[in-house]
Structure 1
Amino acid sequence: MIALSADVGGTFTDLVIADGRTGATYAEKVLSTPGSSDAICNGIERLARRAGVAASDIDSFVHGFTIATNAWLTRSGARVALAVTAGFRDVLEIGTQRRPQTYSLTQQRLAPLVPRSRVIEVDERTDSAGQVVRALSAADAARAADAIAAVEPEAVAVCLLFSHLDDTHERLLLEALRKRLPDVPVYLSSVINPQIEEYPRANTTVTAAYVGPAVDQYIGKLERALPKIGVRAPILMMRSDGGVSTVRAARDNPASMLLSGPAGGVIAGQGISRELAVPELITFDMGGTSADFSLLSDGQSRMANERLLKGEVLRIASLDIQTISAGGGSIGWVDLGGAIRVGPTSAGSVPGPACYGLGGEHPTLTDAALITGLLNADEYLNGEMQLDLAAARRAIDAHVAQPLGVPIEEAAFGMLTMANVQMAQAIRGLSVERGYDVRNFALLSFGGAGSIFAPFLARDLGMSEVLIPLRPGVLSAEGLLLSDIRYALQKSFHGPLEAVAPEALREAYKALRQRAEEAFARDEVAPADRDMRPLADLRFQGQMHELTVEMPAAVLEDWWSAADVFELFRARHEREFGFADAASPAEIVNVRIEAVGRVRRPQAQQDTRRDDHDDSHPGAPPRTRDIYLGPQTGWVRSRVMARSQLREGDTIPGPLVVNQPDTTVFVLPQQSLRVAPGGILRIRDREVAQ
């Protein structure tokens, strides 16, 4: 079996081929072509030639992309019309009182994705018990469809009151819209997010409609382009929850693609966690503009059913990934109080850091790493890109060193230190603030910039070790090959825990299970490859937020114990928030099923690296360079090696710099590096390592 993955980013598209016949894997990076499949097709042709395979021999293709994310962030999605129950036209305008900066008097909310002029009221009403108060007639549905057509939408979102309890009216309006607007996609809240709370359900459904046409157009381009280069393998798309979906499922609910960008790296982290028997792991993906973190406990990533993005509530099942504005292009500056700050503004790839020589004048973390010696002007990207040290020094001198009255090297190290402080706080937020002891966790670093900062973070937080995979720059693409087909299904089921009727609960889970089985049948997933995991959203009575708790598998059959389920919830609540009142009654809000369809994948054992510009070899004379580690330590002499010089079992003390095509690794003086099986680098304090 031959499997292909492609992870499209803003600057580069990463591709990986795993050849199950030989056990080899091959990787390639090409410049991205936003909104086009050209980069993928060019990359596939180049990579297939290197791997010695024909495009027609590829058996599966897994694809991760940021089309939906970019459309949402840049507000460049479709022209959407929203249908709501009469009297609820302002649901998006009112929103909630949740906001990123609670006490700010000047912050402004983003404008709703659908302006009030394109929100159409429908003459119908269902109450909170799911009973019809005012029926929607066929004539009223047709009039609503006419009103929607009049605003000339490219997509339609329908969110009628309490449709998560009874979707009859939404289905009736769907029929009318299909007759009136046969070529316009329609998204129902009872399908996208069948859950209580009107605003989050409406906003999530609108989001699906907003990004849907862009996702559909991109998939269409891909489906037309791939056969032209000989690829006829089925396409699987990466989802926000770390699973993959067929193109049909991606079109049905494009909102599930919205936060899929960093998911591949977390899935790869789960594989490394199992491979090295390191169950407690925090993933750290640092690129040019941001750093993404996720916590794995007992080898499993955490899930989030709701996210607050730029002040907007989105009900999207996703891996629990925290993102901060700290990347290689993040700009350093001095605030009014005379303190160094880093970010959130980034130089991006154009004009980029000052040292790129493309017109950038502001100091970035890449410039700071160059000045302190962590990067070398002649060895960046294995020598493919020459950096301008003088330009980096000018930028940091003008914007940081002179305002503070300190030497340039000290200002540069101060920028790196502030970035580390921000990232350390993000890690504490994922671990310590949620009841986990960060000292028990390893830090898995990947992305182009992470391997420089990870040893500092592990030292400052007292983490057990740093893990650096063989190819950090394409780890997310490798993670795509480890993903399975996934469906996150839910159904409203509201009531006191003690009053739950076991028969009604079983029927609710049975309905979800049937939906999952039907979806797997359409996807041609064999029954033996299907897994169902029951979950439930629980909360103490009077609370406004829920915790998702994994239920015993027996609940799908004939088991029920309110006391046992309460104890599962109480323990989870105490670990999450530090307290739980055992005397307070709890209630169930939703039932869920996480359905996984296992995907066949090749067993790749041999890693084939591309070191086209690396002429180092095990017998090459050792090289050194000076690294600045702050005013207290000063400059230290560090050994410099190429990744290709390292062999399994090698143990090398720091300070050490390891160069490779997609990243630079740094080992602090008090740390040592060991090469583990599979080429993974393990960095620990020397005392711990001994």
Structure 2
Amino acid sequence: MREAITELDDAGVDSIVVSLLFSYLNDTHEQRVGELIEAETDLNYALSSAVYPEPREYDRSVTTVLNEAVKMTIQEYLGRLDNGITDRGIDVPLNVMHSGGGIFGTDQASTFALRTVLSGPAAGAVACREVTRTERLERAIGLDMGGTSADVSIVEEGGLVRSTEGEINDLPINTPLVDINTVGAGGGSIAWIDAGGGLRVGPQSAGADPGPICYGRGGTQPTVTDANLVLGRIDPDAFLTGDMRPAITEAKQLFEDHVAEPLGKTVSEAAMDVVKVANAKMARELRRVTVERGRDPGEFALVAFGGAGPLQAAEIARDMDMDTLVVPRSPGVFSARGLLLADIRMDESRAYTGATLDAAQVEREFTTLVARLTERFEDQGLDADEVSVARQLDLRYEGQAYELTVTMPDGDFSADRFEEALAQFHEQHEQLYGYDMPDEPLELVTLRVAGTVETPPITDAPSTSGEPAAAREREVYFDETGFVTTPVLDRRAIGVGDEIEGPAIIEESGCTTLLPPNTTAETTSEGNLRIDL
């Protein structure tokens, strides 16, 4: 082992990852290898039993390697940021959003760096949860559509749907995650014709620079944004900012050359097809997280945000037979709002070591986990009494290869609550797979605990965005009608309780909301647009 460590040191590696079989049950050997690395070199090292103490050695190894690779970059960045804040005399704790839908301190972010992956979409999901609560929705699907992709999340029973498994570039990552599903369809997604003459949209994107053709920055490939401009859904003057100059004529011409002509359609028809293909990709992702997982999409409201989400959402929701669409206030920066709303949250897990499914053994192991979790909060200067703890069990039927995570009822551990969780496993299994086997023995694979400390509520500052623009009209294309003279409204001019009949366009800074024909929108007391489809 010493020879291998020395060989790696001589090769110039920056860090060593140690991942040994069954270290999730007994980490003694990994700890010993760590001691040897310290004795023989000055290298950094990471133990898989500390980063991800759970079964499946490949997943554990990859997760630890990725965490260590990201860790070095995160540590450098957070160090500079922390120093910059201190140099400016700002004396406040610095917290970082993580993929589990909470925030934690810089020390935790540096140690568990991989948990910052997908933290932006997770913040959007947190904000979606708030809208679900304030609008008294039972269930909601969050659709966060930006320039390159769309992220889908789910809120059920007042909470976010979570996972412990994700993927980056086809590599598994095992870390606490809000269950975010991403599809390569955004405003900058490029429309193209494949070898068989079929229309495709994405996953290639024009990005922000040069961006869509209509940005006037030299873009040459038609995008979803260009399609919406051709259809009259976006105001050309919206691009009169900074160094952007509207290139409407160029957009129409290149749309004709690259899409309409090969399809044998008019520019408007081709642009509508591009929008429909992009919408179909997002609807397919919504079906994946609902229908394919035993959920009825008609029982959910759609909450649309991001710069492009409200422009596409009504047509997507109709495709999904959904009745309600909510566009929150300031949808273009909605994820940033989620970051401000996020509670302090930390997670711990360990493989279950008991030979049988014994409540007393489970309680002992949970006690150890909770103590470890509480220590992390105390290291961040927080009072252990403020921490709310949720317990989870990864269960499966004997002989199965993968588990379902079941959340135990609130409160301290008890044998009765443990039995309730076991019964809940059968219900979840039936919902997800269409059957259960209540007479089959169960295996407990992993124990999980999540601790949260609530952050203070945020107060919205009065708007300083100036006077609303006067109502006007423009020709807007809809699939069922073609071009229709359509009212264009400034969202700031729509008062609480005002009803807007579609077709209509509602504009605001950084975002446009489309109301197709036969829809009705109303501003709620919370300032959100609630649209009946």
TM-score (norm 2): 0.96
**Alignment RMSD (CA, Å):** 1.9
CA deviations over 1:29-56 (Å, ceiling 9, x no partner): xxxxxxxxxxxxxxxxxxxxxxxxxxxx
Task: Give the direction of change, closer, same or farther, for the CA distance of 1:166–1:417 in structure 2 (3 Å limit).
Answer: same
Task: Report the Cα offset of residue 562 of structure 1.
Answer: 7.1
- Contact persistence 1:285–1:450 (CA under 8 A): yes
1:573 is aligned, of 419, 429, 432, to: 429
Q: Distance in 2 between matches of 1:241 and 1:682?
A: 28
Partner of residue 490, structure 2 = 642
Partner of residue 626, structure 1 = 475
- Contact persistence 2:478–2:516 (CA under 8 A): no
Partner of residue 318, structure 2 = 459
- Contact persistence 2:227–2:271 (CA under 8 A): yes
- In the alignment, is residue 529 of structure 1 matched against residue 380 of structure 2? no
- Structure 1: which 5+ residue stretches go unaligned? 1-121, 123-141, 686-690
Q: Distance in 2 between matches of 1:203 and 1:290?
A: 25
1:298-447 alignment to 2 at 5 Å? 298-380=157-239, 385-447=244-306
Q: Distance in 1 between matches of 2:261 and 2:381?
A: 65
CA deviations over 1:164-194 (Å, ceiling 9, x no partner): 1111122222223234444x43221111110
Task: Report the Cα offset of residue 406 of structure 1.
Answer: 0.6
- In the alignment, is residue 280 of structure 1 matched against residue 139 of structure 2? yes
- Contact persistence 2:408–2:420 (CA under 8 A): no
TM-score (norm 1): 0.74
- Contact persistence 1:281–1:299 (CA under 8 A): no
Q: Distance in 1 between matches of 2:343 and 2:11?
A: 40
What SS does the aligned partner of 2:341 have?
coil
572-581 or 191-200: which moved more?
572-581
- In the alignment, is residue 586 of structure 1 matched against residue 445 of structure 2? no
CA deviations over 1:534-571 (Å, ceiling 9, x no partner): 111001112111100012346x5442577544321110
- In the alignment, is residue 149 of structure 1 matched against residue 3 of structure 2? no
Q: Distance in 2 between matches of 1:579 and 1:384?
A: 58
Task: Give the direction of change, closer, same or farther, for the CA distance of 1:384–1:438 in structure 2 (3 Å limit).
Answer: farther
What SS does the aligned partner of 1:491 have?
strand
- Contact persistence 1:265–1:479 (CA under 8 A): yes
CA deviations over 1:396-420 (Å, ceiling 9, x no partner): 1111101011100000000000111
Q: Distance in 2 between matches of 1:491 and 1:647?
A: 52
Q: Distance in 2 between matches of 1:225 and 1:603?
A: 25
- In the alignment, is residue 249 of structure 1 matched against residue 108 of structure 2? yes
Task: Report the Cα offset of residue 610 of structure 1.
Answer: 4.9
Q: Distance in 2 between matches of 1:563 and 1:241?
A: 27
Task: Report the Cα offset of residue 503 of structure 1.
Answer: 2.5
Task: Report the Cα offset of residue 222 of structure 1.
Answer: 0.2
Q: Distance in 2 between matches of 1:381 and 1:537?
A: 53
Partner of residue 191, structure 1 = 50
Task: Give the % identical residues.
Answer: 34
CA deviations over 1:138-185 (Å, ceiling 9, x no partner): xxxx44432332222222211112111111122222223234444x43
Q: Distance in 2 between matches of 1:261 and 1:383?
A: 25
- Contact persistence 1:654–1:672 (CA under 8 A): yes
Q: Distance in 2 between matches of 1:545 and 1:249?
A: 29
Task: Give the direction of change, closer, same or farther, for the CA distance of 1:358–1:471 in structure 2 (3 Å limit).
Answer: same
**Which letter does structure 1 place at the counterpart of 2:263?**
L
Task: Give the direction of change, closer, same or farther, for the CA distance of 1:364–1:245 in structure 2 (3 Å limit).
Answer: same
Task: Report the Cα offset of residue 302 of structure 1.
Answer: 0.8
Q: Distance in 1 between matches of 2:240 and 2:303?
A: 21
447-456 or 373-382: which moved more?
373-382
What SS does the aligned partner of 1:378 have?
helix
- In the alignment, is residue 212 of structure 1 matched against residue 71 of structure 2? yes
Partner of residue 222, structure 1 = 81
1:52-201 alignment to 2 at 5 Å? 122=1, 142-182=2-42, 184-201=43-60
Partner of residue 368, structure 2 = 511
Q: Distance in 1 between matches of 2:117 and 2:157?
A: 27
Q: Distance in 1 between matches of 2:426 and 2:277?
A: 38
Partner of residue 608, structure 1 = 462
**Which letter does structure 1 place at the counterpart of 2:33?**
L
Q: Distance in 2 between matches of 1:507 and 1:304?
A: 25
